[in-house]
A and B are shown apart, each in its own frame.
Chain A
């Protein structure tokens, strides 16, 4: 296989992990909405933590993206 083609395929495979991140972010906000629906008074406290969790999960997505970029542009 040509090196260039193998790089493209590798970069594509590297971002498969984004599927898990999609499920994770969906889960965070689904839980946030059900928590607020059960106890609207908790919104202020819960929202900050949801955003923190969102940022942590999103970072995982970006790790995958960094690997893809490394494969495409660095090696």
Chain B
């Protein structure tokens, strides 16, 4: 049986060497480009006709816009509208990267912790900067929960700070682990099909069910990442 995590191997497609620096176009890079190209094609070509009564494709494009806009409205409030482009690009990138990764012989960009960690770190830094820019020195009160007796503050403040600093880690590991575990599990079951002979129909059935489940997970993880970004943004703007 092939190694179930061999599918995540990064291979260079076009070797590029910039003065000793390896800047080759790898399969990960190529799939990131493909993700961006397909998002652009989906939105630009979908909205090309600008019909008053949208067709199927235009409805999909409008639906994705309206979905993220609603999420931002419910979780952040009207101040959140400024951050819509950021949250929308985040959601679309993760969703398309997850779904493209489910096509056979493709590569899942989000199954690498460095990619998801970079995304989570961008979210973390932007939200911290937004909060500091809005509140200045009052940002410190973020770590002091309101309505707590002074006696327990020495305990609460370090907990708040640790939970704040662990956000990029929990965000990135959640997305990466979901993608990696799902793909590995499908590969493990796929490896049972041929050796089991006729009984191999059982793992085949499991894989069929699992790919449906993986489509759910692909959407759900993009949704969870976006919702958590919205919640953090809400905290940063309103300083609980």
**A residues adjacent to B (C-beta < 8 A):** 51-52, 54-56, 58-59, 62-63, 65-66, 69, 73
Interface size class of B (residues with CB under 8 A): 10 to 19
**B residues adjacent to A (C-beta < 8 A):** 3, 5, 170, 173-174, 176-178, 180-181, 184, 220-221, 223-224, 227
Q: For residue B173, which residue of chain A has the nearest CB?
A: A63
Residue contact A62 to B220, C-beta cutoff 8 Å: no
Given A55-B220, A55-B221: A62 touches B184 (CB 8 Å cut-off): no
Residue contact B178 to A52, C-beta cutoff 8 Å: no
Residue contact A65 to B224, C-beta cutoff 8 Å: no
29 pairs of residues in contact across A and B, judged by CB atoms under 8 Å? A51-B220, A51-B223, A52-B223, A52-B227, A54-B220, A55-B174, A55-B220, A55-B221, A56-B174, A58-B178, A59-B170, A59-B173, A59-B174, A59-B177, A59-B178, A62-B174, A62-B177, A62-B178, A63-B173, A65-B177, A66-B173, A66-B176, A66-B177, A66-B180, A69-B5, A69-B181, A69-B184, A73-B3, A73-B5
* Minimum-distance CB pairs A-B, first 8: A62-B177, A59-B174, A55-B224, A62-B181, A66-B177, A65-B181, A55-B220, A62-B178
